[in-house]
Structure formats: C-alpha cells, structure tokens
Structure 1
Amino acid sequence: MTEKLRFLSPAQAETVRNWWYALQPHSEDEPEPNKRFSMFTRRDRAELRRCETPDQVLLLGAFVRLAHALLPLEAGKQTPYVEGDATAYALVAGLLAHVETDLKDGSSFGARLGETNDADRPHMSAMRFARLQTASTEAEFFQLGRRAIQLVGKKADVVMLADDLLAWVREFRGHQPGKPKDRLRVRWATEYFTAAKHLESNKDLA
C-alpha cells in the first residue's frame, strides 16, 4: 500500500495509523497498540470531533501529540507546507477523528464516495462531490470533509485518506503537480466517476 503514498513515508504512515488506533475507545484490559501513543480518552476524540475548523484542532493535545510524532520524520520528504509548519496535520487529525473503521485496504477515498450505498446510489451525490472538489477555503473543505466521512459510513483507509488530505493542502496552497493526472482533484474525480459508472453499468445489466 505504501507505494501509493505521495507525502507520508512508511514511518509516518505507521505513526498516523497508530495515533488513530489509540484514539478509538478500548476496554481497560486491552493492551496498548504501540509504544509511541498511550490510549487517548473518549474526551480527546470528542474534542476533535467538535472542531469546526482546522484552527480549532491546533489547540488540542491529541493533535499536538500527532504533530510532535510526525514532524521529526519529515527529513528528506517533500512536505505539503513550510518545513516545521504543522497546520496541515491539523486538517488530517480533525478529519481522521470522524473515521470509526480503518479499512486497511489501500482504497481511495474518492472511489469510496462514488461507490453504492444501501439505497443503491453513490455514497455522495455528484452535486455534493462537486462542492467538495471546489471548496474555496481550508475551513470549508474541513466541513465538507466531515460530511463526506459520515456518508461513507465513517469507514476509510486512514493512511490513504491522510495522504490525500496532505495532497489537498499542498495543492490548495499553490503547489500543483506538473502533470494534471497527479493532482488530487483529478484523481478523486476519475475514481469517483469510475465507481459511479460501474454502479450504473450494474443497473443496466440488472
């Protein structure tokens, strides 16, 4: 899976997944998932979920612990922000807090949004998807991202989603890949409409 990652190194990917796991509710007799993060409390996750903007996430201890763990691993990486600026991680932390199931399957979030739901429609309508794709501020994208995660049943590959969120921040801040096909909006649109087209094809065959 890590060969698909654009901004997270394997060590950073493991750190993100461990942080997310530590954020989930666990019984007291369960072993800690890793040595880097002790279990967070339900309050930590609730505080992250109440945040309406990435700026609010910056004030929370759970975010600070993630940033402190990730920043030393940046060496030699092409980061989506000025080196040492952890604000991009605030968007990641705030949105990952809404994921309840880590699929661990390398799946694209864009494709997940286009896949069918129980009502035999895409999880996210084309109109909502267009709004997500054209968000004009980081705060707006954050709000729309929270809704998107709800629509896919709070299920996503947390590492792949985190990497895509970092790609979004980098592109939003003016660092566009040279090839259009490498841009997140293009990738998500291709994956979304490919999944939605597959849904329509299945209907035609029914």
Structure 2
Amino acid sequence: MSGMNQYGNTVLRWWQGMFEDSATLKAKGIPPAPTSHKAQLKRCDSADAVMLQEGFRMLWLELLNQGLEDVPQNLEAWATVAAVLVHIKQDNGEKLAAQAGKKVNKHGEPADKSIVSELRFAKLQNAPTPDDFLKRIRRIVLQLDGKASPTKVADDILQWFDEFYAWSPRKADKRISVRWAMDYYQAANQKYSKSKTA
C-alpha cells in the first residue's frame, strides 16, 4: 500500500471540501462537498458501511485515478481513513498521539492528566482487528474534540493497516505503536503554558 506521500494532497482536499467554508474553498479551487456526504459518513459504524457512501466514493475514485491499487486491503484502509477524518473538525497540524498525550484541559490550560488516558491509548495501540481499530481511533479523535491533522491521522491509519497485513515489515522504532508511544509520552512529559496550546 502506498502511503500519504503520494496521496496527501488528495486526502487534504477531500477533507477540506467537507469542512471549510465556501469562500475558502473557492480561493483554493476546491469544490465543496454536499453536506449530506459528511452526515452520511458520520453515521457509519464500520468501514463496510463507509464503502457504500457517495462521500467515500469521491475520495476512492480520485485515489484510483492517481494510481492506487484496487485491492480489498486498500479499500478497507481508505474507508477507515474516511470514517475517522469525517470526525476531524479542525486541522491543527498536530499528530494524533502527541495531541492525545498533552496534559491540558478543554480550555488549553495545564492539567494533571493527559487528554486521553494511558489505558485508552494502549487499547488503540493493541487493537486486534480493523473494526476495533476504527472504533478506538474514532473515539480518540472525538475525545480530542475533533482537532488533529487530517493528513497525519490518515498516514497513521495507513501505516497501521500496512503493519496489520504485514505488507512492509518495519524495525521496532518505525512501527506505528512505537511511534505513537514516543509521541504520546513526550507530549505527556512536557509542561504546557496557555501560549503553547492556543
């Protein structure tokens, strides 16, 4: 499976088409997605359900036009990407794990606990199936109030699927669970001021 290097712009434009205002989209030359696409995708509880939605088909067909291989594993991985990204409301440029590990409250003020608990984050890292993975990562995105980088989250999802299907064996320090743990605990160990989280 090819990752985000090749498809990052397509994913970002697809996400922007659903979430950015019409003036911003017009300036970027991106057609707005029908509002029904976002609503339908948000109601989907599985990757299989996402595959049947017009909003996903728009993304999938564009990816195929760019040379993505039409195989079931790619379809499942990209449907999971769509199912999660539809819950990201604001692109703050941050990695999912780093955002989850931050010790701040909803107002951006320093807190004693990370936004996402270690237990919930560990469950994401140890998700045994693609369906469990989708449920867990979507729950974390919601807990982050829909703030994360769509392209970085998509890249994480694609890497998880690569490793799940063992398409590309990785050294321990390159595996997604190790990278997530490093990002999470690095963020959890930082002291935050209001200016860092604004």
Aligned to 2:47: 54
> Are 1:101 and 2:86 an aligned pair?
no
> Are 1:21 and 2:21 an aligned pair?
no
Q: Which runs of 5+ in 2 are unaligned?
A: 194-198
Aligned to 1:113: 100
Which amino acid is the alignment partner of residue 189 of structure 1?
A: A
Count of residues in Structure 1 that have an aligned counterpart in Structure 2? 187
Which amino acid is the alignment partner of residue 47 of structure 2?
A: P
Rounded Cα–Cα distance in structure 2 between residues aligned with 1:132 and 1:31: 33
Deviation at 1:175, TM superposition (A): 2.9
Aligned to 1:3: none
Rounded Cα–Cα distance in structure 2 between residues aligned with 1:146 and 1:178: 25
Rounded Cα–Cα distance in structure 1 between residues aligned with 2:172 and 2:24: 46
Deviation at 1:30, TM superposition (A): 6.2
Q: Which runs of 5+ in 1 are unaligned?
A: 1-5
Q: CA RMSD in A?
A: 2.6
Map 1:117-196 onto structure 2 (within 5 A).
117-118=104-105, 120=111, 121-196=113-188
SS in 2 for 1:38: coil
Deviation at 1:87, TM superposition (A): 2.2
> Are 1:7 and 2:3 an aligned pair?
yes
Deviation at 1:56, TM superposition (A): 0.6
Summarize deviations over 1:121-150 as a string: whole Å, max 9, x none.
211000101111111111111111111001
TM-score, structure 1 as length reference: 0.81
Would you tell me which structure has more helix in proportion to its own residues?
Answer: 2
Rounded Cα–Cα distance in structure 2 between residues aligned with 1:24 and 1:177: 35
Aligned to 2:196: none
Question: Which of 45, 50, 75 is equivalent to 2:38?
Answer: 45
> Residues 114 and 192 of structure 1 are in contact (CA less than 8 Å); yes or no, is this contact kept in structure 2?
yes
> Residues 114 and 123 of structure 1 are in contact (CA less than 8 Å); yes or no, is this contact kept in structure 2?
yes
Rounded Cα–Cα distance in structure 2 between residues aligned with 1:92 and 1:33: 26
> Residues 71 and 84 of structure 1 are in contact (CA less than 8 Å); yes or no, is this contact kept in structure 2?
no
